[in-house]
Every structure is written in C-alpha cells, then in structure tokens.
Amino acid sequence: LLLAVLGVTLAQRENSLRVIEALREVHPAYRELRNYVVNAVAGAKLNSSEVVFKFNVDIAERKESFLQSAIKAETGVLRQVNGQRPEVETTCLGFLRQSVDVNMNLAGVSFTNCLNNVDAALSEEVVRIYSELQVNETTYVNLSVYDVFRGQNVFVNPQTIVDRLLEKLSALQQAPVELSLELAELVDAFEARLGDVRAAYAGCLSLNDKLLEQTLNTVLVQLQQICLGVLLPADSTDQPAETEPVETEPTETVPVETEPTEPAETEPVEIVPPVPETPAPAPGDVK
C-alpha cells in the first residue's frame, strides 16, 4: 500500500513539473506577440511622422508663396510712389511710404497669428495620435501569463494549470491582424484632421492677403486723390520684349560651267579569220 501511495505521489509530482515545461513554451510565444505589436505600433508612429513632415512642407510652401506675393505687391506700390514727378509734394509721398510700411507690418502680425493657430492645432493633434497609438499597444501586450495559477495549486491540480497554459499559448500564437488595420485607420484619421488644419491656415492667409491688397490699393488712391500724383504705366521689364523678324537677302546661285568631255578614242580591234578545218580522209582512201 505504501508503494502504491508513493507511486501516485511521484506521478503527481511529474505532472507538477509539466507545468514548468508548459510555462516555458508560453514565454517565446509571448515574446513574439510583443515584438509583433511593438513593430506594428512603431510602423504606425513612423507613418504619422511622415504625415507631419508632409504637413510642415506644405505649410512652408504656402508661407513662402504668401511672403512673395506680399513683397511683390509692396514693391509695385513703392514704385508708383517713388516714381512721381518732382512737383508732387514730397511730404505727402513720405506719408504714403509710412502707410505702406505700417500696412506691411500689420500683415506680418496677421501672418504670425495664422502660424500660431497652426502650431497649436498641430501640437494638439500630435499628442492625440501618440496617445491613441500607445493605448492600442498596451491593450495587446499588457497580458498576464501567470494568471493561470490563480485559485490553483501546482501540487493538487497541476493538469488544470497545464490546460490553461496551453489555451494561453494558442491565443498568443495568433497574431492580432486587426491591430494593423486599426493602427492604419488611426493614422488616416490623423492625416485627415491635419488636412482641416491646413485648410484653415490657407483661409487665414487668403484673408490676410485680401486685407493687404485693399490697404495697398488705398495707398494708390490716396496717391492720386490727396498727393495729386499720376499712376505710372506698367513696368516694361515685366513684359517680354518683342523681337522684329530679321530679313535675309536671297542669295543668287551662280551656274557652274562645265567643259564638255570628249569621248575616249578606242583602238580598232583586228579580226582574225578562222582557220578552215581539213576534212578527215575516208576509210577507203587510206593506202
């Protein structure tokens, strides 16, 4: 009886050791799952970083376009003011120059306001997308491996623990494909929201450009109505110069005289008459 009890006890201890073997099989699967999730989230973060890069490039291009347009408009108005006749009152023209400078400075303030709105919106969206990506990462990798031991005793019911570990292993070996799709949707939504920020920035610049155009046009009106100046014609340097076609004199073709060539003399060929053949004697004539 004692031997039988010892045999049962040893068998149970072997089952207890199988728990450790099953646990060791779970650890690599858990590592692969973590690697998959971390790589998927890292890829989504890289994609979101590319979205931010393209957004900043577009904002810079729009900024440059606005600055070039404003500087060109200022140059055109100052050309009108500085190109007036000497009899136009210089004090009045000086006031117009000051007005142009003040309006350009005000346009710069409005331009800065547009950029401040972009900066605030971009910072908010970046914090949001990284927060969303981080939440999804912890949802998949914050899994417990040792929860299978809760309420169980490795010496009393080891097989139950082994069965739970095998179920855990099967679940870990299935890559969460839906995670990649979910992350891609988050990045797409992030890009769409930045598109709204870009549109708002373009609208802000457009309004600023119209205000600057109105104020500069007012300066031109004041130049004529108050300073009694005259608008100059369009700058000739802005128009392409017309080129007259160059007439070419026809060239005369001089005929080339060629001397007639005499036919080459050929020596007469002497014709030799053929030698007549002598007929062979008949057989009866031979003596």
Domains of the chain: which residue ranges? Answer: 1-226
| Phi and psi at residue 163, to the nearest 5° | -60, -40
Rounded Cα distance, 37 and 142, in Å: 11
pLDDT at 205 over 50: yes
Contact residues for 159 (Cβ-Cβ < 8 A; gap 6+): 15
The pTM of the whole model exceeds 0.75? no
User: Contact 200/117 with Cβ under 8 angstroms?
Assistant: yes
Predicted local distance difference test score (pLDDT) of residue 9: 53
In this prediction, residue 175 carries a pLDDT of 67
What is the per-residue pLDDT for 27? 84
Rounded CA-CA distance 165/159 in Å is: 10
Average pLDDT over residues 56-83: 96
pLDDT band with cut points at 50, 70 and 90 for residue 176: confident
Distance from C-alpha of 61 to C-alpha of 107, rounded to nearest angstrom: 18
Q: How confident is the model at residue 13 (pLDDT cuts 50, 70, 90)?
A: low
Q: Which of 14-18, 197-201, 213-217, 269-273 has the lowest mean pLDDT?
A: 269-273
Whether 214 and 107 have beta carbons less than 8 Å apart is answered as no
CA 264 to chain centre: 81
pLDDT digits (tens, 9 = 90+) for 234-281: 875 443 333 333 344 444 444 444 444 444 444 444 444 444 444 444
- What pLDDT does 146 receive? 81
Report helix angle 90-141 to 177-225, nearest 10: 170
Give the residue with greater pLDDT, 59 vs 137: 59
Region of poorest pLDDT, from 20-24, 43-47, 267-271? 267-271
Mean pLDDT lowest among 39-53, 54-68, 144-158: 144-158
Span of 48-52, 70-74, 140-144, 264-268 with lowest mean pLDDT: 264-268
Tell me the pLDDT band of 73, cut-offs 50, 70 and 90. Answer: very high
Dihedral of CA atoms 118, 124, 125, 126 in degrees, nearest 10, equals 100
Question: Residue 142: what pLDDT?
Answer: 65
CA angle 76, 79, 80 (to 5 degrees): 95
pLDDT digit string (tens) for 225-239?
999 999 999 875 443
Query: Residue 98: is its pLDDT beyond 90?
Result: yes
Q: So what's the pLDDT on residue 286? A: 40
Higher pLDDT among residues 228 and 142, named by residue: 228
Name the pLDDT band for 166 (thresholds 50, 70, 90): confident
Instruction: Give the pLDDT band (50/70/90) at residue 173.
Output: confident
